[in-house]
Amino acid sequence: MLAVLDNAVQNYCGPAGRPRAEAEHWLAARNSHSPFSFKTICEVLGLDPDAAQRAIRGFRERMPPRAQKRRMRPNSRSRARPSRVNPSWRA
């Protein structure tokens, strides 16, 4: 259950998109019928759901704006090919 909560917080604080929207919806849902609802998980972990929700929202508000992510390794197709020595230069 802790892993589910951790994943939701990471998605909620992540870049805009479907995972973030789903995490926002999951955090805002007030039903406790599901064993993996936000409220149920907080109660099992000994957390106050309202306080946890406020803390998570506050954490995202205090985060600095994300810089655009750069690829760690450029796409191999877009890399410049190594220059080849012109065979006519050889004597």
| Both tokens assigned to 38 | 């936000």
Identify the pLDDT of residue 89.
59
In this predicted model, which residue has the larger pLDDT, 71 or 2?
2
Range of the domain at 20: 2-62
| Both tokens assigned to 86 | 């012109």
In this predicted model, which residue has the larger pLDDT, 11 or 31?
11
CA 71 to chain centre: 16
- What's the CA gap between 39 and 33, in Å, rounded? 9
pLDDT in tens, 23-77: 999 999 888 788 999 999 999 999 999 999 999 999 888 877 764 344 455 555 5
User: Of the candidates 9, 61, 1, 67, which has an alpha carbon nearest to the alpha carbon of residue 34?
Assistant: 1
pTM of the model: 0.64
Question: Is the residue at 87 inside a domain?
Answer: no
User: Of the candidates 23, 14, 15, which has an alpha carbon nearest to the alpha carbon of residue 41?
Assistant: 23
Question: Is the residue at 54 inside a domain?
Answer: yes
Supply the DSSP symbol for 88: G
DSSP alpha helix (H) spans, the chain: 2-12, 18-28, 38-44, 49-62
**Per the structure, how many domains does the chain have?**
1
